[in-house]
Structure 1
Amino acid sequence: MSVDFPARFAGLSSDVLFGLEYGPDGTGSDPDAPREYVEQLLVHLADWRARLLDGSRTDTGAYRAALDAVREAWLQYSFRWVGGPELPYPFDLPQGVAR
């Protein structure tokens, strides 16, 4: 049975991580929940990477997109707070910007 790795990362954002910490109504507090969730995602990324390297999967673009989603979500979650600096979301440049 094939694992649908991309589905595990669909919709991932810092808002999802904040939702895990504060709950759907914003009144809870579980500061470990976002870290634990990201750690689980990293385990899935490691498994996915191994399958890409052994040739049993070929969806490298989806892997890179998932890796970028985890990086972006964690970056935004880690450095966004009330009264903090105005940060761009996402940090990536738009597609049309020259490199």
Structure 2
Amino acid sequence: MIIDYAARFEGLSSDRLFDLEYPDGQDGPSDCDAPQEFIEQLLAALADWRQQLLAGSRADADDYRRCLDAVREAWLQHSFRWEGGPSLPYPFDLPAGVLS
């Protein structure tokens, strides 16, 4: 059976991490460990996926890179967004054609 790693990363964003942290909304109690635990699970999946790519048993390196970037983006945005904090762009990626 081939594992669909990419499916584990669908919908990943800093908003999803905040939803994990505040499951009852911003005014409810927080589970400040939930976002990190979720990211750690995704990093473990990426590590396994990477090993399979390096071994040559998979050929979905583009999906791997896309998912790795999604983890980086979500964690960066989640880590640095707070009340009164800096105004950050979402996402940090440049629009298509800017580097052309």
Deviant stretches of 4+, over 4 Å:
none
What amino acid maps onto 1:82 in structure 2? Answer: E
Task: Name the stretch that deviates more: 50-59 or 19-28.
Answer: 19-28
**Corresponding position of 2:9:** 9
Q: May I ask how many residue pairs the two structures share in their alignment? A: 99
**Corresponding position of 2:59:** 58
**Corresponding position of 1:70:** 71
Using the size of structure 2 for normalisation, the TM-score is 0.94
**Counterparts of 1:25 and 1:54, CA distance in 2:** 43
Gap regions ≥5 residues in structure 2: none
**Counterparts of 2:67 and 2:45, CA distance in 1:** 10
Task: Name the stretch that deviates more: 36-45 or 17-26.
Answer: 17-26
**Counterparts of 2:35 and 2:99, CA distance in 1:** 34
- Are residue 86 (structure 1) and residue 83 (structure 2) matched? no
